[in-house]
Amino acid sequence: WAAAPAQAQPFMTTVATVERLAEAGDWTALVSTCEDAELDLVHDDLEAAASAQLYAAQLLGHLLLRELEAARFVWKRAPAAAQAHAEASGAWAVGKALWRRDTTAARAALTAGSWTSKAASTLASALERRGGGGGRG
């Protein structure tokens, strides 16, 4: 995760929680934590990279839960700066492929993804082990 300003300390606590939940495989709690943090992101002055990594984790968490519609809405409401970040756009590339029911493209997107954060890397690996995702939620 990118370094955040000192006033963003609660965000860093969220990052640690998201990483712990990813490692534990608790996708439901991870998505819930990301959703709560997403509401706070609107009020924080964080780097685009920091918020993009949170959006990527949230997207991948929804994909692991087979909640494609929820992932789609996360992508639509993510700020442009987050969408432009490689990790978030990579996560959505997987989601788009799954939306089209193209598991080959989903696997290719997982392999090509830029998973720089610990949480996204863990989630992408879990999704890859699952065989690229699943059906619509």
Structure tokens at 114: 């830029």
Pairwise CA distance, residues 34 & 17, whole Å: 10
- In the prediction, which pLDDT does 115 show? 87
Pairwise CA distance, residues 93 & 105, whole Å: 9
For the stretch 57-74, pLDDT in tens is 999 999 999 999 999 999
In the chain, where do the E strands start and end?
A: none
- Is 63 exposed, middle or buried, given 0-12, 13-18 or 19+ CB atoms closer than 10 A? buried
Looking from the CA of 44 toward its CB, the CA atoms found within 13 Å total: 19
Q: Over the chain, what is the mean pLDDT?
A: 83
Tell me the pLDDT band of 100, cut-offs 50, 70 and 90: very high
Pairwise CA distance, residues 74 & 62, whole Å: 9
- In the prediction, which pLDDT does 71 show? 96
